[in-house]
């Protein structure tokens, strides 16, 4: 197990380095940089930019240096927890993002929990009731969730929540709690608001998860040991939970790897629509105005979240399934 | 036993055998009938049709059993044929504005007037400004029937920029209106815009899938065929790409496209971006299949005969699992269509002179639309239908791809 852990961590390092290089290349691909865009914008409005400050910043952040040096500066800063400087907000990135990373994490985490709690019973139900009317209905519902663009779903849900439950539109909490310290009331308000984005973001992932669990469980249920156990007279529920379900659970855990990118992607669009205080809307702004450190650090954070998520799911899988543990340490 | 030819067989050795005191040899038997290897166990014509069917035919039979997939395939076919004739099918031109009918609600079609069956008509609008809510109010007037005309002259158009024409399938009555799905903030007919939008939205997925298909086969083929270090490197690379959340990456790439590009260039740029992320699943599938297939005898034989890798992959290995690839490619189209919709909605994808379903939906960005003009959200229905249809079609194709299973 320890050898597996070490190897797995060693693999993660080059992956993260490669990701950071890709991100750096992408945010540097647009012609010009934040300042050229900014100066052009100011000039089009007939104003003069503070050229001295800009020249200072350009020098300070090494915009005139070769790309690889800029990359080393940025990546080196990330290692120290320094995410660079946001030109758009005129503040260090870490201060700009602050709570937002936390909120992104909260929303993503809750969404994954939601996905599990919904997908698990439904998946088991439709596998054990294959080809029944309810199986068809649930499958269709799942497909529908997969096919609906999340932003529109979010919009409609927000509207309905407002009309039916009187929940304030947009944001993750009631406006009166903004800029207030954390309290019970604030936490409750967050919980009242978080369910809409969680449902919206979770829907697509849940549908995929249900289908996979159903397919896996069906494969297991057709095996001979199930028939034998049934012939022996084992109670159906005990039989289900004791063997086939455990075997079908593997993909459930390893799926975090594919679930996380979906959740984070979904969160971006949904948070733009619902103006959530997460990273989504800010990423959009940063990309539009070429605020490269802000955009780059956000992208890096999201990719990092995914990589760590996959790592954790691999660990859980290895702990749960001796076959994986022994196979990888031996081979 | 008439087919036994007893005279056949050499005569000369017979005498030698007699001289040696041996019994005469059995007559040599040759059947003149053409050889029939299936003579032993005859099959009924029905069985024969089944067991000797070509793989392609088997796939078709198997596919046909999946009724939902067939229906989905048919629906998609209708959609794709429709995008060829957008100009004819849409009641209005893409940009014809009706400034007297801004945010007009959908008009429903009636066929009974005064209790009698008449040709289909819509009810004309009575319009006034509600000065307290500051909004336009349209009331359908049952006393003002406006019969729909068929195959008639309407807004002039130029079909694919090739042939000029002005014949439409449906037109409003003279002086009347025909807004079956309402109008938007500039008084443009939603139905016409949705029909035109199909042209962009439905092709985005196809071009994107072509890009990812090429990339997937190329990269997966190289990884699976060579194995070893190449494989390891490519595998890691794929993991890097897959650990990016798709949408933020799409957003970042879409932000690279220069604002100065013409709409057509932006369109191709977006499709290529969509295709550049989705190829990893295909590459993985190709690699897995190749790794197992290259151990097969026919592959070794081809290597021994001096075939080069490109030929072995392209001629011998790829065809054995092409059907699988097509099925999984079909399943990636819906995510591209949804991706384009989301990008355009965020304003990073296609931009207004081009009309796609995502661009149309970006008009429905705020809560007031949901409350006041819900018909602006209608473009979501073709999006859902298309995505569902592609999913079901892909499911059916995947089941059919392995007919011997």
Rounded CA separation B276/B270 (Å): 10
Residue A30: which of B247, B256, B365 has the nearest Cβ?
B256
Contact B367 A159 (CB under 8 A): yes
Going through A2-152 in order, the beta strands assigned E by DSSP cover: 85-86, 91-92
Q: How confident is the model at residue B2 (pLDDT cuts 50, 70, 90)?
A: very low
Rounded CA separation B405/B226 (Å): 28
Measured in angstroms, the CA of B222 and the nearest CA of chain A are apart by 21
Cβ neighbors of B2 (< 8 A, separation 6 or more) are none
Contact B252 A299 (CB under 8 A): yes
Q: Which residues 352-391 in chain B show a CB within 8 A of chain A?
A: 361, 364-367, 369-371, 377, 380, 383-384, 387-388, 391
Nearest partner of A280 among B251, B347, B349, B377, judged by Cα: B251
Structure tokens at B299: 């592959």
Residue with tokens 């927890």: A81
Nearest partner of A84 among A243, A295, A262, judged by Cα: A295
Taking the Cβ of residue B34 and every Cβ of chain A, the question of whether any pair is shorter than 8 Å is answered with no
Rounded CA separation B324/B282 (Å): 10
**Looking at residue B327, what is its pLDDT?**
77
Rounded CA separation A172/A191 (Å): 8
DSSP strand pairing (B163-171 vs B149-159): antiparallel
Rounded CA separation B197/B340 (Å): 12
Q: Which residues of A touch B252 (CB under 8 A)?
A: 23, 26-27, 287, 295, 299
β-partners of residue B122 are B109, B146
Nearest partner of B171 among B159, B188, B155, judged by Cα: B155
3-state DSSP assignment of residue B149 = strand
Rounded CA separation A213/B130 (Å): 54
Q: Which residue has better confidence, B182 or A93?
A: B182
**Looking at residue B8, what is its pLDDT?**
47
The Cα-based distances of B261 to B248, B250, B256, B268, B269 in angstroms read: 22, 18, 11, 11, 10
**Positive/negative CA dihedral, B64, B69, B73, B74:** positive
Q: Which of A147, A161, A170, A296 to probe the B interface (max B CBs under 10 A)? A: A147
Cβ atoms A120, A210 nearer than 8 A: no
**Looking at residue B13, what is its pLDDT?**
63
Nearest partner of B278 among B337, B359, B229, judged by Cα: B337
Measured in angstroms, the CA of A178 and the nearest CA of chain B are apart by 21
**Looking at residue B147, what is its pLDDT?**
78
Of B137-146, B331-340, B350-359, B383-392, the poorest mean pLDDT is in: B137-146
Q: Is the ipTM of this complex over 0.90?
A: no
Q: Which residues of B touch A149 (CB under 8 A)?
A: 338, 341-342, 345, 361, 380, 383
Residue A19: which of B240, B384, B388 has the nearest Cβ?
B240
Nearest partner of B385 among B405, B364, B357, B366, judged by Cα: B357
Residue A19: which of B243, B255, B334 has the nearest Cβ?
B243
Cβ atoms B159, B61 nearer than 8 A: no
Cβ atoms B82, B165 nearer than 8 A: no
Rounded CA separation B299/A66 (Å): 49
Phi-psi region of A174 (alpha: psi -120 to 50; beta: other; left: phi over 0): beta
Q: How confident is the model at residue B1 (pLDDT cuts 50, 70, 90)?
A: very low
User: Which DSSP string do the residues of B282-294 spell out, in sequence order?
Assistant: HHHHHHHHHHHHT
Measured in angstroms, the CA of A213 and the nearest CA of chain B are apart by 16
What is the mean predicted confidence (pLDDT) over B382-387? 90
Rounded CA separation B302/B298 (Å): 6
Of A106-110, B41-45, B314-318, B374-378, the poorest mean pLDDT is in: B41-45
Taking the Cβ of residue A14 and every Cβ of chain B, the question of whether any pair is shorter than 8 Å is answered with yes
**Looking at residue B31, what is its pLDDT?**
81
Q: Which residues 254-293 in chain B show a CB within 8 A of chain A?
A: 255-256, 258
Contact B246 A268 (CB under 8 A): no
**Looking at residue A171, what is its pLDDT?**
65
Q: Which residues of A touch B334 (CB under 8 A)?
A: 146-147
Cβ atoms B174, B153 nearer than 8 A: no
Residue B380: which of A149, A288, A307 has the nearest Cβ?
A149
Rounded CA separation B355/B258 (Å): 19
Q: Which residues of B touch A159 (CB under 8 A)?
A: 367, 370-371
Query: Which of A300-304, B78-82, B369-373 ranks highest by mean pLDDT?
Result: B78-82
3-state DSSP assignment of residue B168 = strand
Rounded CA separation B125/B105 (Å): 10
Which residues in chain A land under pLDDT 50?
A: 329-331
Q: Which residues of B touch A269 (CB under 8 A)?
A: 247, 342, 345-346
Contact B244 A303 (CB under 8 A): yes
**Looking at residue B78, what is its pLDDT?**
92
Structure tokens at B140: 């359908």
Q: Which residues 214-273 in chain A show a CB within 8 A of chain B?
A: 257-258, 260-262, 264-266, 268-269, 272-273
Q: What is the chain B residue with the closest CA to A208? A: B391
Taking the Cβ of residue A18 and every Cβ of chain B, the question of whether any pair is shorter than 8 Å is answered with yes
Taking the Cβ of residue A122 and every Cβ of chain B, the question of whether any pair is shorter than 8 Å is answered with no
Taking the Cβ of residue B334 and every Cβ of chain A, the question of whether any pair is shorter than 8 Å is answered with yes
Structure tokens at A108: 């993503």
Q: Which residue has better confidence, B100 or B386?
A: B386
Which percentage of chain B shows pLDDT scores above 70? 96
**Looking at residue A312, what is its pLDDT?**
80
Taking the Cβ of residue A307 and every Cβ of chain B, the question of whether any pair is shorter than 8 Å is answered with yes
Q: Please indicate, yes or no, whether the overall pTM of this predicted structure exceeds 0.80.
A: no
Cβ atoms A166, A172 nearer than 8 A: no
Q: How confident is the model at residue B77 (pLDDT cuts 50, 70, 90)?
A: very high
Does the pLDDT at position B70 exceed 50? yes
Contact B364 A152 (CB under 8 A): yes
3-state DSSP assignment of residue A49 = coil
Q: Other C-beta atoms within 10 Å of B106: how many?
A: 17
> How far out from the chain centre does Cα B357 lie?
17
Structure tokens at A188: 């409750």
**Looking at residue A95, what is its pLDDT?**
74
Helix (H) or strand (E) holding A290: none
Phi, psi of B127 (to 5 degrees): -125, 135
Q: Note the helical H segments in B227-366.
A: 228-242, 246-256, 263-293, 297-304, 309-311, 318-346, 357-361
DSSP strand pairing (B109-113 vs B116-130): antiparallel
Measured in angstroms, the CA of B307 and the nearest CA of chain A are apart by 34
């Amino acid at each position: 197990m320890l050898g597996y852990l070490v190897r797995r961590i060693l693999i993660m390092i080059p992956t993260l380095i490669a990701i950071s290089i890709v991100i750096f290349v992408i945010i540097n691909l647009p012609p010009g940089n934040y300042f050229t865009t900014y100066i052009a914008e100011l000039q089009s409005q007939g104003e003069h930019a503070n050229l001295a400050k800009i020249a200072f910043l350009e020098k300070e952040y090494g915009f005139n240096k070769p790309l690889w040096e800029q990359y080393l500066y940025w990546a080196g800063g990330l290692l120290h927890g320094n995410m660079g400087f946001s030109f758009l907000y005129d503040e260090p990135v870490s201060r700009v993002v602050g709570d937002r990373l936390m909120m992104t994490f909260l929303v993503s985490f809750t969404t994954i929990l939601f996905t599990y709690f919904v997908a698990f019973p439904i998946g088991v139900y439709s596998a054990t009731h294959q080809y029944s009317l309810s199986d068809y209905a649930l499958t269709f519902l799942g497909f529908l969730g997969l096919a609906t663009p999340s932003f529109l779903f979010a919009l409609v849900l927000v509207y309905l929540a407002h009309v039916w439950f009187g929940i304030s539109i947009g944001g993750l909490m009631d406006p009166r709690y903004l800029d207030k310290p954390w309290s019970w009331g604030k936490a409750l308000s967050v919980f009242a608001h978080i369910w809409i984005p969680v449902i919206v973001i979770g829907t697509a992932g849940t549908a995929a998860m249900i289908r996979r669990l159903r397919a896996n469980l069906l494969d297991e249920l057709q095996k001979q040991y199930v028939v034998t156990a049934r012939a022996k007279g084992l109670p159906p529920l005990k039989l289900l939970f004791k063997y086939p379900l455990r075997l079908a659970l593997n993909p459930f855990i390893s799926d975090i790897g594919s679930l996380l990118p979906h959740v984070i992607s979904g969160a971006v669009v949904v948070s733009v629509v619902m103006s959530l205080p997460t990273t989504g809307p800010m990423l959009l702004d940063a990309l539009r105005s070429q605020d490269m450190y802000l955009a780059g650090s956000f992208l890096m954070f999201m990719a990092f979240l995914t990589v760590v998520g996959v790592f954790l799911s691999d660990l859980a899988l290895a702990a749960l399934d001796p076959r994986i543990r022994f196979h990888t340490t031996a081979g | 036993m008439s087919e036994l030819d007893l005279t056949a067989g050499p005569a000369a050795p017979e005498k030698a055998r007699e001289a040696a005191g041996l019994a005469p040899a059995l007559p040599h038997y040759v059947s003149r009938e053409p050889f029939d290897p299936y003579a032993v166990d005859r099959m009924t014509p029905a069985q024969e049709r089944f067991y000797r069917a070509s793989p392609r035919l088997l796939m078709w039979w198997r596919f046909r059993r999946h009724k939902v997939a067939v229906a989905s395939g048919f629906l998609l076919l209708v959609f794709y044929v429709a995008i060829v004739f957008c100009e004819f099918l849409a009641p209005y031109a893409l940009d014809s504005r009706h400034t007297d009918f801004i945010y007009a609600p959908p008009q429903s079609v009636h066929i009974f007037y005064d209790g009698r069956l008449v040709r289909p008509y819509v009810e004309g609008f009575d319009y006034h400004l509600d000065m307290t809510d500051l909004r336009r109010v349209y009331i359908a007037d049952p006393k003002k029937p406006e019969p729909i005309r068929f195959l008639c002259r309407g807004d002039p158009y130029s079909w694919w920029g090739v042939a000029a024409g002005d014949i439409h399938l449906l037109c409003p009555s003279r002086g009347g209106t025909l807004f079956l799905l309402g109008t938007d903030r500039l008084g443009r007919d939603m139905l016409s815009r949705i029909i035109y939008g199909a042209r962009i939205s439905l092709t985005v997925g196809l071009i994107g899938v072509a890009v990812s298909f090429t990339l997937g086969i190329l990269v997966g083929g190289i990884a699976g065929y060579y194995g070893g270090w190449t494989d390891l490197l490519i595998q890691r690379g794929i993991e890097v790409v897959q650990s990016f959340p798709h949408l933020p990456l799409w957003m970042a790439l879409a932000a690279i496209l220069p604002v100065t590009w013409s709409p057509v260039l932006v369109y191709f740029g977006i499709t290529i971006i969509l295709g550049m992320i989705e190829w990893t699943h295909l590459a993985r599938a190709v690699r897995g299949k190749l790794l197992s297939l290259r151990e097969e005898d026919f592959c070794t034989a081809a290597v021994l005969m001096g075939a080069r890798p490109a030929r072995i992959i392209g001629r011998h290995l790829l065809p054995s699992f092409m059907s699988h690839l097509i099925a999984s490619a079909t399943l990636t189209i819906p995510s591209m269509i949804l991706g384009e919709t989301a990008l355009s909605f965020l304003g990073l994808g296609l931009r207004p002179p081009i009309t796609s379903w995502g661009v149309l939906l970006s008009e429905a960005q705020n809560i007031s639309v949901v409350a006041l003009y819900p018909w602006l959200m209608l473009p979501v229905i073709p999006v859902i239908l298309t995505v569902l249809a592609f999913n079901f079609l892909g499911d059916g194709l995947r089941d059919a791809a392995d007919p011997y299973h």
